[in-house]
Structure 1
Amino acid sequence: MPTKIGIRQLVEFVLRKGDLNEVKNSQNTALMGAKIHRQLQSSRSDAYQSEVYLKKTVTMNGTDYVISGRADGIQTTDDGVLIEEIKTSDQDFEDLTDNTRDLYWGQVKVYGYLLMQDQPDTDKVTLQLTYYQVSTEKITKTQKVLTRAESEQFFQQLITEYEYWLTLRADLRKRRNASIVDLPFPFPDYRRGQHELAVAVYKTIRLQKRLFVEAPTGTGKTISTLFPAVKALGEDLVERLFYLTAKQSTRHVAEEAVTLMSQNGLKLKSITLTAKDQIRFPEEQDVPPEENPFMIGYYDRLKPALKDILTHEDHLTRTVIETYARKHTLDPFEFSLNASLFCDVIICDYNYLFDPLVYLQRFFSEDDPDNFFLVDEVHNLVSRSRDMYSAAISDAPIAGLLKLAKPDKTQPSDDLQRELKKVRRSFTRISRVLTDDGVNEQVGPLPPEKLLATLRQFNEFVGDWMQKQEPSDLLTAVRDYFFDCLTFVKIGDLFDGSYQTRLVLDGHHVTVKELCLDPSDFLDQSLSRGAGAVLFSATLSPMTYYQNVLGGTDNSLAYQLPSPFPPKHQAILVTQYVQTTYHERAHSEGAIIDSLTALVTAKPGNYLVFLPSYGYLTQIKAAFELANPDIQTTAQTNAMDGATRQAFLDQFQADATQTLVGFCVLGGIFSEGIDLRGDRLIGVAIVSVGLPGLNAETNLIRDYYDHTNGQGFAYAYQLPGMNNVLQAAGRLIRSSHDVGIVLLLDQRFASRRYTSLFPAHWQYYQTIRSVPQLSATIANFWQQMEVQHEN
C-alpha cells in the first residue's frame, strides 16, 4: 500500500519559510470554513465540479508515494479549464504575508499539474485564488495562467526538495516493518484474557471497525492494545497510531510499553505531545512572536533540526523534544507537532483529536484511513467531551476592562470602551429579561443569537485592536476576555438539538452558558477521521451506556473480558445498615465509624476510604480519629500538585506493621490511575453510591436522556456515580498475589438497581446486616487468606 502524502502537507513543508507566526486567533472554524466553501461552490455554474479528488503516484527510491488532495472546484468550458482554491480567514487579503500567499498558490499549482497529467490534451489551466475575509465578507479573486511546462517544473522542484524526506520516510518505514516481523510479545506469557484482547484489537484494525473494550484491572490493557496495533503497522494495515489518554500518568505507561517493545527489537518513531503551556520555554512566556527568538526564523532552522532528531532519536519524549528544540532554537511545542508528521505512534491527550478548538488539523482536517485510534481510560471522555463542546461567558470582567480602557493622554481613542459597552448592553438586556420574569435563571433550547452577534463584532474589533498595541496590563486583560468570547462564539457555531442555553443572574452579573448535553455525534465524527478505534477501560459497564454517550451506538462492537485475578482474593461486603443520603448522614455517622474501625483493626496494614465530597471527608475523618486516636491517618487535600500527590502515596509502604488509613474523595485524583501493589493496600471502603451532586446542569442532562431514551437518572447520576465506585474499588487488586476487602457503605448497593451493575468478578459479594456480622466476616476472610497462603 503506497504511502499517501497530502498536497497541503507537501506544499507547506517545502515552501514554508521565515518566522513562526502563530495562527491568529480568528473566529473562523472548520465548520464555518466548510459552510463558506459550500456557499461559494453552490453559486458557481453548472460546468463547475466541487471537491475534485486528484492524485498521482510518484516512485522514488524504489517506493511508491501517492500525492493527493481535493481541489475546491474545477470548471471546464469552451474557454478552457479553471481550478479554484478557496481560502477563508479574518485577515484582509492585503495583510497576508508573502509566504502565506506562496503557500496558497503552491497548492493550486499542484492541482493544476495533476489535472494536466490526467488530461494530456490540456496544455494550460487558469488558477483562481478566491479569498473570503470572514470578518467583512469581502471576496478577493486573483488569477494566474499555468502552462504544462511551468507546472511540471514547479512540481519537480517540489518533489526534488521533498525527496530527502520521502526517502527518509521510506527508509524509516522499511526499518520499522522489518523490526516488527518477528517482534515477540514482551512478556514470557499472556495473562488471562490478554491474548484474546490482543487478537480482538488486531481484528478491529484489519476490519477497520470501532471496538469498545472493558478489560478489568490487571489485564495489561496498554501493552495488549499497543502490541497488536504495532503488528498491524508492520503489515501496512495503517500508517499511524494515536494513543489518546486523559492523564499524564497513562501517557507515561504508553511510553513504557513502547520502550519495552523496543528492548525486544522494535524500531519505530514515537512521540509524546505535551500541552503548549507546559512545554514552552520559560523565556518565551508573554513574549510576542515577533520578538521571540524561538519563533523568529523558525522555518529556516526547522529542517536541519528534524534531520538531527530523526537521525539520532526513536522515542521523542518531552525531554528529548526540549533538548533538540533548545539546541536548534525552536519553539518546542511547534517543533513537536512538526516532528509528529514522521512518527508512527503519537501519544497525546484526548484534546488533540476530540476538542473542536484545538484538534490537530495537520492530521484531522479530513478523514484519513491511515490513522487508527487507541483511546485509553475512555470512561473519562464522557465528562471531558461535554466540557469540550460547552462554553460560558460572563459580563463580570467588563467593569474592570472599562476602567483599564479609560482614555488618557497615552490612549486618546475610546473605541475599545465603545465596543465593551456594546457587549455590556447585550448582557444588560438578558439581565432585564430575567429580572422582569422574577427569576435568577432560564434554560432554553435556542442559541443566544443576539449575544453571539454582538460578540462576533466585538471579536472582529479586538482582533484588529490587539495587533496595534504595545504590551500592557490592558492588553493582557483584553486578550483573556477576547479568548473567552472567541471560544463562546466558536461553540455557538456547533449549537444543535443536543444543546441548551442557560442564563444565570448572580447578583449584578449575568453568565450565559452553552451546554452540550450529548456530544456523542461530535465524538463519532472525530473517530471517523481514522480507519477505526479501540476504546477501552477497566470499567465500561453497562456497555450500551458507553456506546451511546461516546458515539458508538450504530457502528461499534463490544467486548468484555473477565478479571485475570481470582475473584475470591477480594471480599466484596455490602452494608445494609448504613444510609448515606444527605439527610441521613448525621444519623449514620456512628455506624460508618464502627464499620471502618472493624475493617482497619482486623489486620494491620494500609487502607483507603473514599467519600463523595471534601466536606463529608472532613466530617468522617474527624469522627474516625476521635474514635481511634492511636491509628495513623492521612487525607487528600484540595489542589495537590505532583509532588504532594506522590508524597501522599509514598506513605503507603509494603510490609506495614502499623495501620494507616487514607481518606480520599470519590472520583478524585486517587480514585484511579494509582497502583499500590501487593500489601501496600489491603482494604478499600467506599461511602455512598457516588452520585454526582444535585445541580441544575446535571438535571438538564437527566431531562435530555429522559426525553431521548427514558433513562435520565441512570445516565446523569447513577451510572457516572457507579463508575467512580468501580474505579475506586479497582485500586485494591493490582496483581495475582493481591488480596483485600472492598467495603461498600450504603444500603443502596444491596438493591437490584446496583447489584445488576456489579462486574462479574464481584460475583461473591456478601450482604452485611450489622457491625458484629461485619467483624466476623472480615476475620473469616483474613483467616481463609492466611490458610490459602500457607498451602
Structure 2
Amino acid sequence: MPPETNPYLVGYYDRIRPAIKDIVEHEDQITKPTIEHYAEKHKVDPFEFSLDVSLFCDVIICDYNYLFDPQVHLQRFFSVPDKQNCFLVDEVHNLVQRSREMYSATLTMKPIDSLVTKLSAKKAANQKVIQKLRSLKRSFKRYSKDAEESPDHQIAQLAPVTNFNATLNDLIGAIHEWLANRKPSDTVDAVVDYYLKCRHYYLISQYYDDAYRTRIINDTTTHDVIFRQFCLDPSKWLKESLDLGRAAILFSATLSPISYYQRVLGNESNSLQMVSASSFPAKNCQVIIANNINTLYANRQQSIQPICQTIATLISQRAGHYMIFFPSMAYLEAVLNQFMDQYPSVHVIRQEADMDNAARQQFLREFQTDPQQTKVGFALLGGIFSEGIDLKNDQLIGVGIVSVGLPGINDEANLIRDYFDQLNHQGFSYAYQLPGFNNVSQAAGRVIRTTTDKGVIVLMDHRFSQARYRNIFPDHWTNVRVINQPDQLKKQLQAFWNSFPN
C-alpha cells in the first residue's frame, strides 16, 4: 500500500505525540506486541512509531546492522557522535563475517536485458533509463574482458573500477528522476529492485580503500557478469561506528584468541581486554582429543570407520543424549549411513539441509525428552544447532566434533589470507584456522550450560593435538586428554563418569 493511501501514515504526525505519551506513561518494556497494540489504538504506522518511541528509551535492543551496516543504520542515533550512548555488543564473534558482508556489495549484469525489454513497451517515455542501462551493460562487458580471458574466468584487483562506478551513478540518477512520476506496476517494481542494488553497490564504493578487492567474474553457466566489491578488513569502519558512542563493550563466550578479535573488530591498540574465568566447575567437563582420526580431505573415506567407532564408544559409557558435528552435509551423510548400518539399534536424529522452524523445534524436542534413552544427533558444524541452542542438565551430555572446522578453500578466503599475510604474516590463521575454530568452540559450548551440568567433548581430528590448536584452546578447557585408540577413549570416559556418583 503506497504511503499516500495508507491510513496509518496519512496524518501520522497529527497522532504521533499522543501515541508516544500514552505508551511512555503506561509501559516500561516496549516489545513488538506492545508497539502493535498502541499503534492500532492510535492508528499510527507501527514501524515509524517504534523508531520514534525509541528516542524515549534508556536501553535499546536491536540487531548489529542498526549500528554497523552503512545501508540501514539508524540515522536518528548514529549520524553524529553522541557521548551519552554506550554500546553493548553480544555474540561479537559473529560480527567478523557479518561486517564483511555489510561493507561488501555485488551487482550483476543479467537483469539489464529484462529491464530494457520491459521499459521498451513505452520506449519514448523510458528512453533515458534505457540508454543508461545499456551504458551500464557496455561498462560491465568492457571491464570484464580480463576476467573473460583468464583460465577460471575471474579476476580480483586492488584498484576500484572508477569508470564503472561513474556510469552506475548516472543510471541511479536517471532512475531516481524517472520514478518520480511513475505509478505502481510490475515494471516499476523490477526497476526499483535493480535500482536498490545499484545504490547499495555505489554506496559501498564510497568506502573502498586498500582493504578492498574488486572481484570480476564471468559466469559461463548463466552467461552473466558479476562485479563484487569485497571488504577484506572492515575493522576501520567498525571502529568509526563504535566511536559514535562514549564507550563500547564487545563480548562473547568464544573469543579465543582474544588478540585476533581485538584486531579484526576495531583494531584499537589501547582498548582493554578481559578474559573471565568460567563460572562452571572445570571438573564437570572432560575434553578428549581423538588423535587416531585423520579428517584431511584426502583421507575422508578412510576416516569414516574410526569416526563411527569413536561415536559408538562415546555413547556406550553412559546412556543419554549426544550430538555429533560435521563440517559438511556430505561428510555427515557418509558417516551417518555407515553408523546406522553398524549400529541399527541406536536412536539417531539428523539435521536436514533445509529445515523450517517447525522441523528445527522437533529436532530439539528429541533432546528435551527421555534423558535416560541414548539418542545421537547428527548436525552441521557452524550450523543452526551448533550455536544458540540451550540444552541444560541431562538434555545433552556429550558432543563429538569432526574436523577442526576449516572453511572449504574458496576464492574470498584466499583473498583474506593473502591480505593478512602481507600485513602480519597470519593469513592462514585469519582466513581459515580461527574462523573454523570459532565454530568448534561454539559447538563444544552446547554441553555445559549450568553449574551442575556434566559432559564430555570429543575432538575427532589429530590436528587438535598440535601446538597451533592447543595454543588457542579456551582457558576453561583445563581437563584435556589425548587418546590414540578406542580402548583408551573407553577408559577415559569410564574414569570421568565414575568420578560422579549416580
Query: Shared fold by TM > 0.5?
Result: yes
The structure 2 residue matched to 1:486, chosen from 194, 199, 206, is: 199
Alignment of 1:112-511 (within 5 A): 287-408=1-122, 413-437=126-150, 440-507=153-220, 508-511=223-226
- Higher deviation after alignment, 513-522 or 290-299: 290-299
For 1:117-175, what per-residue CA distance to the aligned partner results, in whole angstroms no more than 9, with x for missing partners? xxxxxxxxxxxxxxxxxxxxxxxxxxxxxxxxxxxxxxxxxxxxxxxxxxxxxxxxxxx
Contact 2:119 2:126 in 1 (8 A): no
Looking at structure 2, the residues matched to 746 and 581 of structure 1 have their Cα atoms a distance apart, in angstroms, of 9
Looking at structure 1, the residues matched to 181 and 350 of structure 2 have their Cα atoms a distance apart, in angstroms, of 51
Alignment of 1:710-721 (within 5 A): 710-721=425-436
- Residue in 2 aligned with 1:778? 493
Contact 2:321 2:394 in 1 (8 A): yes
Question: 1:375: Cα distance to partner?
Answer: 0.6
- Residue in 2 aligned with 1:671? 386
The structure 2 residue matched to 1:631, chosen from 329, 346, 357, is: 346
Question: 1:667: Cα distance to partner?
Answer: 1.0
- Residue in 2 aligned with 1:535? 250
Q: Which amino acid is the alignment partner of residue 455 of structure 1?
A: L
Structure number having the greater strand percentage: 1
SS in 2 for 1:546: helix
SS in 2 for 1:503: strand
- Higher deviation after alignment, 372-381 or 756-765: 756-765
Structure 2: segments with no counterpart, 5+ residues:
none
Looking at structure 2, the residues matched to 438 and 539 of structure 1 have their Cα atoms a distance apart, in angstroms, of 40
Larger RCO (alpha carbons 8 Å, 6+ apart): 2
Looking at structure 2, the residues matched to 496 and 332 of structure 1 have their Cα atoms a distance apart, in angstroms, of 39
Contact 2:148 2:154 in 1 (8 A): no
Tell me the percent identity: 48
- Residue in 2 aligned with 1:21? none
Looking at structure 2, the residues matched to 335 and 413 of structure 1 have their Cα atoms a distance apart, in angstroms, of 37
Looking at structure 2, the residues matched to 667 and 613 of structure 1 have their Cα atoms a distance apart, in angstroms, of 10
In structure 2, relative to structure 1, the CA distance for the partners of 1:439 and 1:677 (3 Å cut) is closer
- Residue in 1 aligned with 2:277? 562
- Residue in 1 aligned with 2:424? 709
Q: Which amino acid is the alignment partner of residue 483 of structure 1?
A: L
SS in 1 for 2:270: coil
Structure 1: segments with no counterpart, 5+ residues:
1-286
Looking at structure 2, the residues matched to 439 and 574 of structure 1 have their Cα atoms a distance apart, in angstroms, of 39
In structure 2, relative to structure 1, the CA distance for the partners of 1:559 and 1:443 (3 Å cut) is same
The structure 2 residue matched to 1:599, chosen from 314, 327, 348, is: 314
Looking at structure 1, the residues matched to 132 and 8 of structure 2 have their Cα atoms a distance apart, in angstroms, of 35
CA RMSD of aligned residues (A): 1.5
Question: 1:613: Cα distance to partner?
Answer: 1.4
Contact 1:598 1:775 in 2 (8 A): yes
Contact 1:654 1:679 in 2 (8 A): no
Looking at structure 2, the residues matched to 329 and 622 of structure 1 have their Cα atoms a distance apart, in angstroms, of 57
Q: Which amino acid is the alignment partner of residue 482 of structure 2?
A: T
Contact 1:544 1:553 in 2 (8 A): no
Looking at structure 1, the residues matched to 293 and 178 of structure 2 have their Cα atoms a distance apart, in angstroms, of 61
Looking at structure 2, the residues matched to 643 and 305 of structure 1 have their Cα atoms a distance apart, in angstroms, of 36
Question: 1:611: Cα distance to partner?
Answer: 0.6
- Residue in 2 aligned with 1:613? 328
Q: Which amino acid is the alignment partner of residue 530 of structure 1?
A: G
Looking at structure 2, the residues matched to 398 and 597 of structure 1 have their Cα atoms a distance apart, in angstroms, of 56
Looking at structure 2, the residues matched to 703 and 552 of structure 1 have their Cα atoms a distance apart, in angstroms, of 19
For 1:355-399, what per-residue CA distance to the aligned partner results, in whole angstroms no more than 9, with x for missing partners? 111111111111111000111011111001101000010102122
Alignment of 1:34-49 (within 5 A): none
In structure 2, relative to structure 1, the CA distance for the partners of 1:505 and 1:329 (3 Å cut) is same
- Residue in 1 aligned with 2:477? 762
Q: Which amino acid is the alignment partner of residue 429 of structure 1?
A: R
Contact 2:236 2:267 in 1 (8 A): no
Contact 2:140 2:225 in 1 (8 A): yes
Q: Which amino acid is the alignment partner of residue 138 of structure 2?
A: R
For 1:249-287, what per-residue CA distance to the aligned partner results, in whole angstroms no more than 9, with x for missing partners? xxxxxxxxxxxxxxxxxxxxxxxxxxxxxxxxxxxxxx2
SS in 2 for 1:537: coil
- Residue in 1 aligned with 2:240? 525
- Higher deviation after alignment, 594-603 or 489-498: 594-603
Contact 1:407 1:414 in 2 (8 A): no
Q: Which amino acid is the alignment partner of residue 416 of structure 1?
A: V
Question: 1:413: Cα distance to partner?
Answer: 4.1
The structure 1 residue matched to 2:456, chosen from 723, 727, 741, is: 741
Q: Which amino acid is the alignment partner of residue 227 of structure 2?
A: V
In structure 2, relative to structure 1, the CA distance for the partners of 1:705 and 1:288 (3 Å cut) is same
* Length-normalised TM-score, structure 2: 0.97
Looking at structure 2, the residues matched to 331 and 767 of structure 1 have their Cα atoms a distance apart, in angstroms, of 60
SS in 1 for 2:216: strand
Looking at structure 2, the residues matched to 486 and 710 of structure 1 have their Cα atoms a distance apart, in angstroms, of 36
Looking at structure 2, the residues matched to 383 and 296 of structure 1 have their Cα atoms a distance apart, in angstroms, of 40
Looking at structure 1, the residues matched to 380 and 244 of structure 2 have their Cα atoms a distance apart, in angstroms, of 37
Number of residue pairs aligned between Structure 1 and Structure 2: 500
Looking at structure 1, the residues matched to 104 and 353 of structure 2 have their Cα atoms a distance apart, in angstroms, of 25
Contact 1:654 1:678 in 2 (8 A): no
Alignment of 1:87-102 (within 5 A): none
Please state if 1:730 is matched with 2:445.
Answer: yes
Question: 1:633: Cα distance to partner?
Answer: 1.3
Question: 1:656: Cα distance to partner?
Answer: 1.8
Question: 1:686: Cα distance to partner?
Answer: 0.3
Based on CA coordinates, which of the two structures has the bigger radius of gyration? 1
